[in-house]
A and B are shown apart, each in its own frame.
Chain A
Amino acid sequence: MSEHTHKTKTADDPSFQLPASFGSLAVPLAVAGAALLIVGCLIGFFAGPGEGVQPARFTMSAYLVAFTYCFSISLGSLFFVLIQHLVRAGWSVVVRRVAEVMMIALPALAILFLPVIVIAWSPSGTLYQWGYEGYAASHGVPASMWAEKSRYLSADWFSVRSIFYLVTLSAISVFYFRLSRRQDETGEITLTEKMQALSGPSVMLFALVTTFAAFDWLMSLAPMWFSTMFGVYIFAGSVLAAHCAIVVVTYLLQKRGAIKDEVTIEHYHDLGKYLFGFVTFWTYISFSQFLLIWYANIPEETTWFYTRIQGDWEVMSYSIIFLHWLFPFLGLLSRHVRRRPTLVFAWAVYLLLIHFIDIYWIVMPEAGIKFGGATGLLTSLLITGGMVTLYVGGILWFVRCNQVKVLAVRDPRLPESLAFENI
């Protein structure tokens, strides 16, 4: 065991603090991100993506892509934290704070969702077509069926549910964040016990909220389409993105000297396994969703995929098979890759980019735009880039102001995590 002895550091060691260079980036990033976001929205609204597309609808859809992208990372991080407590994992303690810091962005993201709630009240169905009164008539939906549908898909009920989702998720993340930070000071084992005890109910609540949020916020973009697997599909992408973000953030922190000795190849190896596993899980879920719909071949179900094999979307749909599954699957298959932090980092960055394509592919076809629309993809990228920058800047600002440590320094399982080794 002498090989893995760890130099004991005190909880106040400077390498557990956010590197100063990151802290100084917080405000510039947040400002630049907010500016980019606004500029992107303005370009989307006034320059427009092309003929036959409502600028407002396009801009709001692109905004929803950006929001979903950031939200999914925080959502996946929340799941990461919950599941580590649920299974009482020891290996992950050294990276859990990174996930906690991304998770605590959920209350802030709730504010960024307000424009979506507002636009849901638009009587012309600007973003969510179900808001338009004449939707049933113009889409040939029987009135009786529409009466049932619109009982659930109505602006007031949608707002109530959305607020419930946001409040629930925020409450869980604030609870876990607070307790984990309090442990930094006191090192009480009871705090860990408390977090573990509540992780079961929290995970159940999380599952329901994630599923219904996915139904309401993304699936209802195509009001007549339904897939019970859709929630899991969004969940799979979110957890994958969160693991990628954990790898990326940890790697960058280590580059700046923080938690340099704490996170080892062994942790990257495990995170790499999770990347590989969730790439496969995402594929499994998305293929299962596709296979059932393809096999049954019922028009009301196939419509969603049908939209996505029309015109230029077809290229994107088929590309996703390779980009989101085959390449990362083969790339992460080998243990030798997963034991090289730089390669794991590179794949994580790659998957974060592909995660954007996945969400873009889910949302934008419903906005009625063509993939090849001149400004379509670029404006969406601008808006998403702006929001991601704002998201990162905001998190850095929060961490800097609150002096949040980047490691759960007094977690009772920290020694286990530090000594962790794959066989």
Chain B
Amino acid sequence: MTDKQEKKLHGTYAEFDAVDTLLAACRRVRDAGYTKTDAFTPFPVHGIDKALGIKPTALPWIALACGLTGTTIGLTMQVWMNTIDYPYIISGKPFFSMPAFIPVSFELTILLASFGAFFGMLALNGLPKFSNPMFTNPRFDRVTDDKFFLYIDAADSRYNHGGVTKLLGDLGGAHIHDVYDDDSSVAVPKPLFVIMASVIFLSLIPLLLVARMRVTTSDSPRFHIFFDMDFSPAKGAQSASSLFADARAMRVDVPGTVAVGQLDEELDFYTGIDMDALARQDKPRAARLVRALLYPDDPEAPAATDEPAVAEGPAKPADEPAKPADEPAKPEMKEEPAPVATADPIPAPATAAAVEDTTPWLKENPLALSLEVLQRGQTQFEIYCATCHGNDGRGNGLVNRRAQRILATAWVQPSSLHQDTLYSDAYPDGKLFSTISNGIRKMGGYSSQINVRDRWAIVAYVRALQASQNASLDDVPLDRRNELTKEKAAVDRKLAEQAEADRQRAEAKAKAEADAAATEAAVVEPAK
């Protein structure tokens, strides 16, 4: 016992032969005021919790809290994803569809409640435990066989070695035993390292195989584990199908129907025209416009071009059914009846004045203007418009420069957006929208590529672009002027430096040439 004295005493237990004596002992120990106690039995004994005075476990509350957390996570996640962050129409259901959210919330509730119950049980029991000093005594092994044990922890406030030993003895316990720290080696057994190393090595093999396959080639065809995931039976967008009479896999809209998200706004929003005013002024044209919007694919819908009475001016007829952008624009017919030379890209002011455009174009952008809208407009402008019109809108984009370099004869230079005829007083927002949507002269319509909202955003951005090219320092807010002035000075200085550098370089070059010429002359001279 002497060397054991140095080790920590964990507690004391006694051995009992029958469940009834154990239960009686438990009750006595409980009544004596001990709280840190435990009983060990070969099988579950009803009522032992009560006999030991063990308080009801907190586990149900842990499980409930975890379950409710699961419900909350499930619901919030789906509401956030489906209704806020990434609204996406699924089966035509509303973005917020409670019935669709229930299965996931339910499963997550069950999952987290189970985790809570399982891991909570482990935590409350202090498991997993790699070693338990109870097992140092070989007699304790019989707890899985035919013996019952009652244990009193040394950490109990009433624990007193002599008293506990006496109490357990009085209660009929045999082989009263003190539990000390496990004195077996704490070193991890060597074979364990070997096993773990082997496991690590084996688990690396698949990774190595994958790595090898990444850097080598093979002649044998790919192995498809999930064939129908690699080759979806779903039809591609432009593929054929034997299911339908027209052999198209992609179905066209049913005539007269409006898809979700389409035609949400008023008609004005889609045409750029005050439709009420147009209906009063030119009813047939208004009717044609509406028809073209509702039945974009209807061959019966009269084409705008065979309507002789429309006096549209250079701005193309908005009533033309949306036309694929890749289809070459038919410039002349749009010009009609304006007598503008086809090659002249810039609508001459005289022409615009000559044919009065009576269309009640929208004067104002129907979008609520904000920095976001303008930035969206800029992005879209730089994707779709800037290739021809240039980022600055002066009509000298990359395509134009290339066309000039190869001296393309049929090329019509894109309009500069910075001219009086295109400012909002002469060219209303609605008309600009219509031009973007339906094209003009050689420019095709973009209604099929850019959505309505973005086209209006481009209109807003073009107005900003126009303003930017004709602005003075007075237009800049006071607090930004200083900054701008400084920036301008810096740019000017840099330009001046560059000009100076260029000049010097040119001078040096000229001088070098002159020297070379002189040398040459000098060389030539003696030869004579």
Asked if A pairs with B, the answer is yes
Which chain B residues border A333 with CB–CB below 8 Å?
64
Q: Are A294 and B99 in contact (CB under 8 A)?
A: yes
- A4 B99 Cβ-Cβ under 8 A: no
Which of B46, B91, B93 is within 8 Å of A4, CB to CB?
B46
Residue of B nearest to A287 (CB): B102
Q: Is the CB of A291 within 8 A of B20?
A: no
User: B23: which A residues are within 8 A, CB to CB?
Assistant: 1-2
CB pair A295–B91 under 8 Å, yes or no, is yes
Beta-carbon contact of B20 and A2 below 8 Å: yes
Q: Given A287-B102, A335-B60, are A297 and B46 also a contact pair (CB < 8 Å)?
A: no
In the assembly, what is the distance between CA of A297 and CA of B100, in Å? 13
- In angstroms, Cα B102 to Cα A297, docked, is 17
Chain B residue numbers with a CB within 8 Å of A1 are 19-20, 23, 46
> What's the Cα separation between A338 and B100 when bound, in Å?
32
Q: Name the residue among B46, B64, B93, B100 with the largest chain A CB count within 10 angstroms.
A: B46
Q: Is A421 an interface residue (CB 8 A)?
A: yes
- A423 proximal to B (CB < 8 A): yes
CA distance A1 to B44 in the complex (A): 12
Say yes or no: A421-B47 contact (C-beta < 8 A), given A1-B20, A295-B91.
yes
In this complex, what residue of A is CB-closest to B45?
A1
A8 nearest CB across to chain B (Å): 19
Query: Is there an interface contact between B46 and A421, defined as CB atoms closer than 8 Å?
Result: yes
Residues of chain B within 8 A of A287, CB atoms compared: 99, 102
B91 touches A3 (CB 8 A): no
Q: Is A290 an interface residue (CB 8 A)?
A: yes
Q: Is B92 an interface residue (CB 8 A)?
A: yes
Is the pair A291, B91 in contact by a Cβ cutoff of 8 Å?
A: no
Chain A 249-300 interface residues, beta-carbon cutoff 8 Å to B: 287, 290-291, 294-295, 297
- Chain A positions within 8 Å of B19 at CB level: 1
Complex partner residue of B91 from A2, A290, A297, A423, CB under 8 angstroms: A297
A3 touches B47 (CB 8 A): yes
Interface flag for B42 (CB, 8 Å): no
| Complex-state Cα separation, A91 to B103, whole angstroms | 34
Q: How many residues of A contact B (CB 8 A)?
A: 14
Instruction: Tell whether, in the assembled complex, residue A291 and residue B44 are in contact, meaning their CB atoms are under 8 Å apart.
Output: no
User: How far is it, in angstroms, between the C-alpha of A266 and the C-alpha of B19 when the chains are bound?
Assistant: 21
Contact assessment for A290 and B99 in the assembled complex, using a CB-CB cutoff below 8 Å: yes
> Does B46 lie within 8 Å of A291, measured CB to CB?
no
Q: Please indicate the chain B residues that have their CB under 8 angstroms from the CB of A291 in the complex.
A: 99-100, 102-103
Among A3, A295, A335, contact of B99 (Cβ-Cβ < 8 Å): A295
Instruction: Say whether chain A's binding surface is mostly helix, strand, loop, or mixed.
Output: helix
B20 contacts across to A, CB distance below 8 A: 1-2
A226 CB to closest chain B CB, in angstroms?
Answer: 20
Chain A residues 377-423 with CB under 8 Å of chain B are: 421, 423
Q: How many residues of B contact A (CB 8 A)?
A: 15
- Whether A423 pairs with B46 at a CB distance below 8 angstroms is yes
| A residues 222-237 touching B (CB-CB < 8 Å) | none
B92 CB contact (under 8 Å) in A2, A297, A335: A297
Within 8 A of A (CB), among B78-114: 91-93, 99-100, 102-103
> Smallest CB–CB gap between A279 and chain B, Å?
15
Q: Give the distance in Å from the alpha carbon of A291 to the alpha carbon of B98 in the complex.
A: 10
User: A296-328, CB under 8 A of B: which get 1 and which 0?
Assistant: 010000000000000000000000000000000
Total A-B contacts with CB atoms under 8 angstroms apart: 29
- From A3, A4, A335, A421, residue with most partner B Cβ within 10 Å: A3
- Please name all residues of chain A whose beta carbon is closer than 8 Å to the beta carbon of B64 when the two chains form the complex: 333
> Shortest CB–CB separation between residue B16 and chain A, in angstroms?
14
In whole angstroms, how far apart are the Cα atoms of A3 and B47 in the complex?
8
Cα distance, A297 to B99, chains bound together (Å): 13
Give the complex CA separation of A1 and B64 in angstroms: 32
How far is it, in angstroms, between the C-alpha of A186 and the C-alpha of B44 when the chains are bound?
34
Who on chain B is nearest to A294 by CB?
B99
Interchain CA distance A420-B102 in the complex, whole Å = 38
Within 8 A of B (CB), among A51-95: none
What residue in chain B is nearest A290 (Cβ atoms)? Answer: B99
Give the complex CA separation of A333 and B92 in angstroms.
37
Instruction: Tell me how far the C-beta of B474 lies from the nearest C-beta in chain A, rounded to whole angstroms.
Output: 61
Residues in A with CB closer than 8 Å to B103 are 291
Neighbouring B residues of A421 by C-beta, 8 Å: 46-47
- Min CB gap A2→B, angstroms: 6
Instruction: List residues of A (160-217) whose CB comes within 8 Å of B's CBs.
Output: none
Do A295 and B46 contact each other (CB < 8 Å), given the known contacts A2-B20, A335-B60? no
A297 to B93, CA, bound (A): 10
Given contact pairs A1-B20, A2-B20, A335-B60, A295 touches B100 in the complex (Cβ within 8 A): yes
The residue on A at minimum CB distance from B50 is A3
CB distance from B98 to the nearest CB of A (A): 10
Chain B residue at minimum C-beta to C-beta distance from A335: B60
B62 smallest CB distance to A (angstroms): 14
What residues of chain A lie closer than 8 Å to B99, measured between beta carbons?
287, 290-291, 294-295
Separation of A2 and B44 alpha carbons in the complex (Å): 16
Q: Which residue of A lies closest to B49 (CB)?
A: A423
Which B residues lie within 8 Å of A297 (CB)? 91-92
How far is it, in angstroms, between the C-alpha of A295 and the C-alpha of B91 when the chains are bound? 7
Closest to B48 in A: A423
What is the CA–CA distance of A61 and B103 in the complex, to the nearest angstrom? 34
CA separation between A333 and B113, bound complex, in Å? 14
Residue of B nearest to A293 (CB): B99
CA distance A335 to B57 in the complex (A): 12
CA distance A3 to B27 in the complex (A): 12
Cβ distance B135 to chain A, nearest Cβ, rounded Å: 25
Report the Cα distance A297→B92, complex, angstroms: 9
- By a CB distance below 8 angstroms, the chain A residues around B102 are 287, 291
Give B329 Cβ to nearest chain A Cβ, in Å.
43
- Closest CB in chain A relative to B168 CB, distance in Å: 21
**What CA separation (Å) do A423 and B64 show in the bound complex?**
20
Shortest CB distance B515–A (Å):
87
Residues of B whose CB lies within 8 Å of any CB of A are: 19-20, 23, 44, 46-47, 60, 64, 91-93, 99-100, 102-103
Given contacts A290-B99, A421-B46, A421-B47, 12 further A-B contacts (CB under 8 A): A1-B19, A1-B20, A1-B23, A2-B20, A2-B23, A287-B99, A287-B102, A291-B102, A295-B91, A333-B64, A423-B44, A423-B46
Task: Name 29 interchain pairs, CB-CB below 8 A, sorted by A.
Answer: A1-B19, A1-B20, A1-B23, A1-B46, A2-B20, A2-B23, A3-B47, A4-B46, A4-B47, A287-B99, A287-B102, A290-B99, A291-B99, A291-B100, A291-B102, A291-B103, A294-B99, A295-B91, A295-B93, A295-B99, A295-B100, A297-B91, A297-B92, A333-B64, A335-B60, A421-B46, A421-B47, A423-B44, A423-B46
A-B pairs with lowest CB-CB distance, top 3? A421-B46, A294-B99, A291-B99
